[in-house]
Amino acid sequence: MAGDIVIVMTSTHPLRLRILRSGSSGNAIFLETAGTRLIVDVGLPAEVAARELDSIPGAAPITAILLTHEHDDHAKGAGPLSRLVGAPVLANAGTLAAAGDQLNGASTERLTTGVPFRVGSVQVEAFQVPHDATEPVGFVISSLDRTQMATQDGRAPVFIDSHAHLADPAFTGDRDAVISRARDADVLILEANYDLRLLSVSPYPWFLKNRILSPTGHLSNDAAARAVVGAASGRLRTVFLVHLSDINNLTPLARDTVQWALEREGIAAIHVEAVRPNGTSPLWQIAP
């Protein structure tokens, strides 16, 4: 499962979640549960991220900033936002090293992929995903008063897997591990970057198309749909599709591809929301 963002989350507390930005121009996610406020990735200017946060009632103070990987569209604003809001940046050793000057002057803390750790009132676990970055991860985020199962995000109130090539047979182990974790999530945030037919006729050069299609590239609508169907046997209730391409995808198409896949399996209880390319989402408030 190659991809850019995967977040899984589960909580006995109400969850507030807003996609501050999603797409190739920048990615950032705000989520709050049990009094802990997290930002996952800051791939936009800190001033823009701060304005988005100011529009959310009660979004301050931010407890921590989590990074999935070092690519500019996920990390370029992390250091400046950290300094601006006084929150530490948490990432694994590979991402911290690769981010380099992007984190100058920021307070940083190293996490270990695969080892759960506490941030405020939640437990976070980073899990490895195949992507063309140094040490890319997804996250499982769980409130500490709930038994947690593993995931890229954790037994999640929220499971975030932004870049994971679930469809590629070379990554069957990654796919199965991510899906098993997502079954324990209330919320899944998952990349749906491209539609294969639109990518095949897009103006992108072939070297870029091949990168997108590679085992460390991006997740298609069809692959995202298979992942969601695989996770749907558990407690999953809400799916957010993110990191949609503005050239190789359409927001309704991404949503409908996943929704149709669920309907074919007779699954009607999962709400699917696709965030438009380089867009934002409303503030979602999800009951436990």
pLDDT digits (tens, 9 = 90+) for 170-206: 344 456 666 777 777 888 898 999 999 999 999 999 9
Tell me what pLDDT residue 128 has: 84
Tell me what pLDDT residue 9 has: 57
Tell me what pLDDT residue 161 has: 53
pTM: 0.87
- Residue 55, pLDDT above cutoff 80: yes
pLDDT-above-70 percentage for the chain = 83
Tell me what pLDDT residue 26 has: 93
Q: Which of 67-76, 171-180, 204-213 has the lowest mean pLDDT?
A: 171-180
Tell me what pLDDT residue 183 has: 79
Max CA-CA distance within the chain? 52
Map residue 29 onto helix, strand or coil: strand
**In whole numbers, what is the pLDDT of the chain averaged over residues?**
85
**Strand pairing report for 108-111 and 89-92:** parallel
- Residue 227, pLDDT above cutoff 50: yes
Tell me what pLDDT residue 177 has: 66
pLDDT, mean of residues 38-64:
96
Evaluate the CA torsion angle 196, 202, 204, 205 in order and state its sign: positive
Tell me what pLDDT residue 168 has: 36
Tens digits of per-residue pLDDT, 230-256?
Answer: 888 777 889 999 999 999 999 999 999
Tell me what pLDDT residue 1 has: 47
The candidate with the shortest Cα–Cα distance to 164, out of 284, 283, 7, 278, is: 7
